[in-house]
Amino acid sequence: MSTFPGSPHLLKGGIVLIDPDSGAVQRIITLQYNPDTLTRSLQVQGVDATSRDRSEALRLKGPPIETFKLEAEIDATDQLEFPDQNPTAPQLGIYPQLAALEIIVYPTSAQLLNANALAQSGTLEIAPMEAPLSLFVWSKNRVVPVRITDFSITEEAFDTALNPIRAKVSLGMRVLSVDDLGFDNKGGNLFMVYQQQKEQLAAKSKPGTLRDLGIGGIS
């Protein structure tokens, strides 16, 4: 199907997995359909609310803890009607797309086998397995290092072989700041770019006036 030549290119949101040391891209996962809503929350990192020290009242300990919440839809209906668009759809439905998202929160099988081999050899302390760094990408102004904190899938339709062909995926993500990653880490650098972009956007916002607030001055 051809599209109108003057129509704008529709950008998609998604998740990019990179090597935490080199920054090399390991995998790009695009959302089939952009969610209608993206919920964000920011928890201010101020001083202890019970503190009676007045000199601490306006101090911030670091960037706020920011979280994202979205629901994404995955649907193989079009691919089943036009299998040349996705040859795996008739045999597997949307299993591959779901698996690509799910393995983000799994250690690799090689890491699990290696940890088991170390345990069997008598290694007393086994370091937790390191995962790729996940970046949530939602336009060029929002490329954020994140950790997936909750993940649920509702499979809504199946083919005759019980392969899922339509599902909703709910993703909860916590932004990883320089407090989590440090300034020398690739993810820490990306967070600083993200914050600096916010500051630049804020500078473009037209400031209000005291008159807008119905007051003549601050005294």
pLDDT tens, position by position, 52-111: 777 777 888 899 999 999 999 999 877 776 666 667 777 889 999 999 999 999 999 999
| Pairing mode, strands 14-18 and 25-30 | antiparallel
The pLDDT, as a whole number, for residue 39 is 96
Burial class (CB in 10 A: 0-12, 13-18, 19+), 85: exposed
Q: Rounded CA gap, 53 and 59, in Å?
A: 11
The pLDDT, as a whole number, for residue 58 is 81
| DSSP H helical ranges for 127-185 | 178-181
The least confident of 17-26, 38-47, 118-127, 154-163 is 118-127
- Give the residue carrying structure tokens 């969610």: 35
**Single pTM value for the model:** 0.85
Amino acid in the structure at residue 76: A
| DSSP H helical ranges for the chain | 77-81, 89-92, 95-102, 109-120, 178-181, 186-204
The least confident of 26-30, 117-121, 146-150, 198-202 is 117-121
Could you tell me the sign of the dihedral formed by the alpha carbons of 124, 127, 128, 130, in that order?
negative
Task: Check: CB of residue 147 under 8 Å from CB of residue 171.
Answer: no
Q: Rounded CA gap, 23 and 20, in Å?
A: 6
Does residue 130 have a pLDDT over 90? Answer: no
The pLDDT, as a whole number, for residue 5 is 58
The pLDDT, as a whole number, for residue 46 is 83
The pLDDT, as a whole number, for residue 1 is 44
* CB neighbour list of residue 124: distance below 8 Å, 6 or more residues apart: none
- Percent of the chain scoring above 90 in pLDDT: 63
* 8 confidence band (pLDDT: 50, 70, 90): low
Could you tell me the sign of the dihedral formed by the alpha carbons of 75, 81, 85, 87, in that order?
positive
* 157 confidence band (pLDDT: 50, 70, 90): very high
Region 146-163 average pLDDT: 94
Indicate the average pLDDT of the chain.
88
* 18 confidence band (pLDDT: 50, 70, 90): very high
- DSSP secondary structure of 16-45: EEE-TTT--EEEEEE-SS--S-EEEEEE--
